[in-house]
Amino acid sequence: MRFVVRSVAATVLCLFACSPISANAVVPGSKITVTFEGLVKRTKADPIQGGYDGLDFDGSMEATGKAVYKHDPGFQAVIRGGVACVLPQFNDLGSIRPHNRSSLISIKSGHFAAFGGGGRVITFNAYKAGELVGTMNVNIETVDTPIKFDKTFSNIDQFQIIGEVAFDNLVVRFGE
């Protein structure tokens, strides 16, 4: 029986430690920084797999390696490591939701920059149970713009971004 217990414990440990889609543990009340590292190689861009860091990334959000947009000043300004997230289409829409649909998230902050050249207004929306509960319109340029979100972006089930933007180091708290 001892062997079975060790085997089960090793399997459970590997589920948490070896998971390719989750760099951070998702525990209610925990706060993580989503970095997108390890999702793609330096020269690749791909949609973000569902469940990465306990979140689902909808729309056309892509994990993008540093060399893909090496001539885009906004992307290069915001990237912290080797990978960042890009919403590349003008006035495109991307949403982030908790992977566990019965959970809530709070978006605390992140680093954002205009993608594709020139400044623009980016709209951030917060939804809970299908209702809009918060909106922020931010004029950003092709430089790193740290953004802190107010309490209307707390305990929500969808964080929506409208606009052509690159971002990294998104700080998220998981609720109950």
- CATH number, domain of 76, equals 2.60.120.260
Residue 1, pLDDT > 50, answer no
Residue 58: which pLDDT band, with cuts at 50, 70 and 90? confident
Structural domain for 88, as ranges? 2-174
- 2 band by pLDDT with thresholds 50, 70 and 90: very low
Which pair of tokens denotes residue 162? 């409208």
With a cut of 70, say whether residue 17 has pLDDT above it.
no
Q: With 80 as the cut, is the pLDDT of residue 7 above it?
A: no
DSSP string, 101-135: TT--EEEEEEEEEESSSS-EEEEEEEEETTEEEEE
Cβ atoms of residues 119 and 165 within 8 Å: no
Render pLDDT for 61-95 as a digit per residue (tens, 0 to 9). Answer: 999 999 999 999 999 999 999 999 999 876 678 99
Number of domains in the chain: 1
Kindly report, residue by residue over 111-145, the tens digit of the pLDDT. Answer: 999 998 889 999 999 999 999 999 999 999 999 99
Q: Which two tokens stand for residue 89?
A: 């289409």
Using the predicted structure, report yes or no on whether residue 13 has a pLDDT greater than 60: no
Beta carbons of 154 and 65 less than 8 angstroms apart: no
